[in-house]
Amino acid sequence: MENTVSIKKNFVYSIARQIGRFLFPMVAFPYASRILGSEGFGKFSFSLSLINIFILIASLGNSNYAIREGSRIKNDKDKINRLVSEILMMSILSSFISLAFLCSFFVFFRQLKAYEALSFCLSLIIILNGIGADWVNYVYENFKYLAYRNLIFQIVALIVMFAFVKNQSNILIFCLVYVISSAGGNICNILYLKKHFLLRIVKPNDLLKHIKPIMILFAGSIATEIYINSDIMMVRYFTNDNIVGVYSAVSKLYSVIKQILGSAMLVMMPRISFVINKKDSRSFRELSIAFFEILVIISISISIGAYMLAEDIILLVSGAEYIGGASAFKILALTICVASLAGYFVNVILIPNRKDTIVFRATLIASIVNITINVVLIPRCGMVGAAITTFLAETIVAVLGFIKCRKLIDIIIDCRTISLICFANIGVIFICYFCKCFNGCIYRVFMPTFISVGWCLLVFRKKIRELAIYFD
C-alpha cells in the first residue's frame, strides 16, 4: 500500500505534539522553580540529567533503527510483525539491564545518595519506554494519534502538579508528574500494539542480526547524550546546585525550542526511508532539498529572535532569580540554528541512508571536544563556558554532516532565498529592538514574536507556496 498520509498534515500534528510537550515545561518548570527553589530545582535537574544517561542505555539506539527499518517494510505484514516482536524484546531486555546499572551506580557512588530517591522515581520512564514501542507510530506516521495522546497526558500531569506540588517537600511528587508527562502515554501504546500486531515469541538468534546496526546507532546516541547532558553534570561538579538550577532553566528553554524543530525531522525520517527503499531518487532529492530550505528559514529566524529577547524570555518563564543565565541563553539561542542543521544532516539524510558509522564518528568527535573544553571553560566562565561548548559541539556535527551529505545529495540554497533570509531577519532584529519599549516582559516577548511571525510569513509567502507542493 502506497503512503498517502500528507506530510503537511504530519508536520502540523508533530509540531502540535511537540508544542504540547512544550506546554508542560513552560507551565511546570516556572512553577516548580519557584515552589522548589533554585536548590530543589537544581537537584531535580541533576537527577534528570543522570537518569537520561540510563534512559539512553535502555533505548540502545532502538528508536531510530526501528523507524528506519520499519518504514522500509511497513507494507509487508509478516515482516513488520516479526520486526516489532524482535525490537520489543530487545527493548525490554535493555531496560532491565539499564535498571541494574542504575542500582549499581548508587551502590558505588554513595556520595550521591541525596539524589537516589529522585533518580529511582524518574527511572519509571525507562520501564514505560521499554514496553511502549512508541516508534511504531512513527513508522506508520500516526502523528495525529500521538498529538492527541500527548495532549491528554500533559493536561493530566499539570492537574496533578497543581493539586499536589505545594512546597519544597513535594519534589518527589514533581518527579512523578514529570514521568506522567514524559512517558505516561506509552501505557496506551501497549493496547495499540496488541490490537494491530501479531506479537510472537522471539528466539535469541533472531535478535543477533539487529545488534551491530543498533550498537553503532547506540554509540552515536551515547556520544550525543554526553555533549548534551555532560554540561549540567560538569557545572554541578565545578560549581553548586544554585548555578545548576539557573543553567538548567535556560538550557531547558533551548532544548524545548530545539525539540520543536526536531519534531519536523521525525516526520521526514520515515518518509525519506520509505522513498529510499523504493529507490525513488527524485522524490528523495526533492523532499530533502525542500525541507532543508524550510528548516534554514525557520531556524535562523528563531535563533535571532531568541537572542534578541533572551532576558525577557527568562523573566517570563523562570523569574528574576534566573536572569543571571541570560548570557548563556544568548549563546544557546545562536546554537539553535546550528543544532537544527546538525539534526537535519543526521536524521534526514545520513541515518535513512544507513550511514550510521559516519554519524557515530561525528558525534564522538563532538563529545570529546565538548568534554575537553568544558574542563577548561566551566571553572573559568561557569555556565557561559558550558553554553559555548554546546555551540562548538553542534557546529562540529553540522560541519562533518554537511561534508558527508554532499556525497549523497547536492545541498544548495539559491541567492534569492539567501537574500530573503537576510531581509526578513533584519526586520526581526528591528522589531525585537523597538518592542523593548513596552512595559512588562509578557508584552516584550509576545508582541515582537507575533509581529515577527507575520513579517516573515509576508516576506516568504511566495517561497512557502513554491515549497509546499513537495509535501502534499
pLDDT digits (tens, 9 = 90+) for 303-314: 999 998 888 888
Give 100-103's long-range contacts (Cβ < 8 A, gap of 24+).
Answer: 101/54, 101/57, 102/51, 102/54, 102/126
3: left (phi over 0), alpha (psi -120 to 50) or beta: beta
Using the predicted structure, report yes or no on whether residue 162 has a pLDDT greater than 80: yes
Rounded mean pLDDT, 266-273: 85
Residue 436 lies in a domain: yes
10 Å CB burial of residue 433 (0-12, 13-18, 19+) is exposed
Residue 1 lies in a domain: no
Using the predicted structure, report yes or no on whether residue 3 has a pLDDT greater than 60: no
b/e 276-287 (16+ beta carbons within 10 angstroms → b): bbeeeeebbebb
Residue 228 lies in a domain: yes
Distance (Å, rounded) from C-alpha 403 to C-alpha 397? 10
Distance (Å, rounded) from C-alpha 380 to C-alpha 140? 49
- Give me the domain span that covers residue 131: 7-471
CA angle 268, 272, 278 (to 5 degrees): 155
Grid cell 541515518 — which residue? Answer: 351
Residue 2 lies in a domain: no
Residue 142 lies in a domain: yes
Residue 128 lies in a domain: yes
What cell numbers appear for 375 in the block?
574542563
- The reported pLDDT for the residue numbered 61 is 64
User: Could you say which DSSP state residue 346 is in?
Assistant: I
Using the predicted structure, report yes or no on whether residue 265 has a pLDDT greater than 50: yes
Distance (Å, rounded) from C-alpha 303 to C-alpha 329? 11
Using the predicted structure, report yes or no on whether residue 350 has a pLDDT greater than 50: yes
CA angle 436, 441, 443 (to 5 degrees): 70
User: 279-297 pLDDT, tens per residue?
Assistant: 878 888 888 888 888 888 8
Grid cell 496533578 — which residue? Answer: 160
Residue 374 lies in a domain: yes
Query: Based on the structure, what is the number of domains in the chain?
Result: 1
Q: Where are the alpha helices (DSSP H) in 278-355?
A: 281-308, 310-317, 326-343
- The reported pLDDT for the residue numbered 124 is 92
- The reported pLDDT for the residue numbered 398 is 92
Distance (Å, rounded) from C-alpha 261 to C-alpha 343? 9
User: 82-125 pLDDT, tens per residue?
Assistant: 888 888 888 888 899 999 999 999 888 888 888 888 999 999 99
User: 208-242 pLDDT, tens per residue?
Assistant: 888 888 888 888 877 777 767 677 777 777 777 77
Write down the pTM of the prediction: 0.81
Q: Which of 408, 332, 338, 398 is nearest to 365 (CA)?
A: 398
User: CA Rg, the chain, in Å?
Assistant: 22
- Residue 65 makes CB contacts below 8 A (sequence gap 6+) with 87, 210, 213, 214, 217
- The reported pLDDT for the residue numbered 472 is 64
Cα separations (Å) of 120 from 47, 124, 175, 176, 305? 9, 7, 10, 10, 38
Specify whether the CB–CB gap between 388 and 381 falls below 8 A. yes
User: 170-213 pLDDT, tens per residue?
Assistant: 889 999 999 998 888 888 887 777 777 777 777 878 888 888 88
Residue 244 lies in a domain: yes
Residue 4: pLDDT band with limits 50, 70, 90: low
Residue 356: pLDDT band with limits 50, 70, 90: confident
Using the predicted structure, report yes or no on whether residue 459 has a pLDDT greater than 70: yes
Q: Which of 360, 362, 363, 390 is nearest to 378 (CA)?
A: 390
Residue 248, CB-side half-sphere exposure with 13 Å CA sphere: 31
Distance (Å, rounded) from C-alpha 289 to C-alpha 411? 7
User: Could you say which DSSP state residue 439 is in?
Assistant: S
- Which range of 61-70, 131-140, 148-157, 249-258 scores highest in mean pLDDT? It is 148-157
Using the predicted structure, report yes or no on whether residue 384 has a pLDDT greater than 50: yes
Distance (Å, rounded) from C-alpha 24 to C-alpha 30? 10
- The reported pLDDT for the residue numbered 395 is 93
Residue type, 286: E
Using the predicted structure, report yes or no on whether residue 436 has a pLDDT greater than 90: no
Distance (Å, rounded) from C-alpha 350 to C-alpha 401? 8
User: 16-62 pLDDT, tens per residue?
Assistant: 887 777 777 778 877 888 888 878 888 888 888 788 888 878 887 67
Average pLDDT, the chain: 84
Using the predicted structure, report yes or no on whether residue 2 has a pLDDT greater than 60: no
Specify whether the CB–CB gap between 287 and 249 falls below 8 A. no
Using the predicted structure, report yes or no on whether residue 5 has a pLDDT greater than 90: no
